[in-house]
Structure 1
Amino acid sequence: MKIGELSERTGIPTRMLRYYEQQELLDSERSANGYRSYDEAHVERAARVRGLIQSGLSTRMTKVVLDLERQCALETPPVCTRALAEELAQELVALEERLACLTRSRDAVALYLERSAHGDLVPSENRLRRPA
């Protein structure tokens, strides 16, 4: 598929897909005329990249996380410098803080909707569970 179709399938603008490629987060095959060509694996990869960036990771850290995921899928233990481990530990703390903030926001929105006349719009998995 060409970049326009990848954009349609993922909802990611073509300009952003080119940026991901420039940052070595996404790759493509090139045809003789220079057009980019993508397959199904690229759809999943592009969505993963977007999700990591939307979660607050820099493009550099996104590349690191994607590389770590690939290494973790292998049988051999990953190689990690102390400096990278410290950076990842800091990122882990930042991710936990963002998750806690997002959880509070989700709960506030769910509670507001539940208390409104539109509580039926809250999916069952997002309904707040209060002790009886």
Structure 2
Amino acid sequence: MRIGQLAKRTGVTTRALRFYEEQGLLTSRRMANGYRDYDEIAVTRVTNIRYLLDAGLTLEDVHAFQVCLDGDMANARIGTAVAEVARRRLAVLDKRIADLVAVRDHLASQLVMAGPTAPTSRRAPAKH
């Protein structure tokens, strides 16, 4: 299938697909006219790459999962090496969350100390 078809089937931009290919996560053949041609398994591979990225992993982390990108990642048991990559990324995310909570708490305490006369934003608060 051509790159546009793969993009449509996976919901990923053609630019992202080219980037995944540059990073060695995706492969294609070149047709006589120079167009990329992807095998059907590329749909699964791209879906799994997005699954891992959406789970908070980086492209560098995704390389550790290369051996299982063509399978059912959402329901598969992960190996020890892959679990270690996930644990390291989880630790990084936990640290970021803790840092953001500290910044938020500091800002909130500054507003409390400023009292009710502190200027407020006219924008509606973000909904989560």
TM-score by length of 1: 0.54
Residue 68 of structure 1: how far off its partner (Å): 6.1
Residue 39 of structure 1: how far off its partner (Å): 2.2
The 4+ residue runs of structure 1 with deviation greater than 4 A are none
Long gaps (5+) in structure 2: 71-78, 98-128
Aligned pair in 2 of structure 1 residues 60, 32: CA closer, same or farther (>3 Å)? Answer: same
Aligned pair in 2 of structure 1 residues 90, 64: CA closer, same or farther (>3 Å)? Answer: closer
Q: Distance in 2 between matches of 1:68 and 1:41?
A: 12
Matching residue's letter, 2:52: L
Q: Given that residues 61 and 85 in structure 2 are in contact (C-alpha distance below 8 angstroms), is that contact kept between their aligned partners in structure 1?
A: no
> Larger helix proportion, structure 1 or 2?
1
Aligned pair in 2 of structure 1 residues 62, 90: CA closer, same or farther (>3 Å)? Answer: closer
Residue 11 of structure 1: how far off its partner (Å): 0.4
- Which of 92, 109, 114 is 2:87 aligned to? 92
1:27 aligns with 2:27: yes
Aligned pair in 2 of structure 1 residues 19, 33: CA closer, same or farther (>3 Å)? Answer: same
Aligned-pair identity in percent equals 40
1:65 aligns with 2:60: no
Matching residue of 2:15: 15
Q: Distance in 1 between matches of 2:10 and 2:66?
A: 18
Structure showing greater radius of gyration is 2
Aligned pair in 2 of structure 1 residues 19, 30: CA closer, same or farther (>3 Å)? Answer: same
Matching residue of 2:112: none
Deviations 1:8-60 (A, max 9, x none): 10000100010100111111111122110012101110111111112111111
Q: Distance in 2 between matches of 1:64 and 1:46?
A: 15
Q: Distance in 2 between matches of 1:45 and 1:90?
A: 19
Long gaps (5+) in structure 1: 71-77, 102-132
After superposition, residues 116-131 of structure 1 pair within 5 angstroms as none
Deviations 1:79-132 (A, max 9, x none): x9xxxx5x963632544897xx9xxxxxxxxxxxxxxxxxxxxxxxxxxxxxxx
Aligned-pair RMSD on alpha carbons? 3.1
Using CA pairs under 8 Å that are at least 6 residues apart, name the structure with larger relative contact order, 1 or 2: 2
Q: Distance in 2 between matches of 1:38 and 1:90?
A: 28
TM-score by length of 2: 0.55
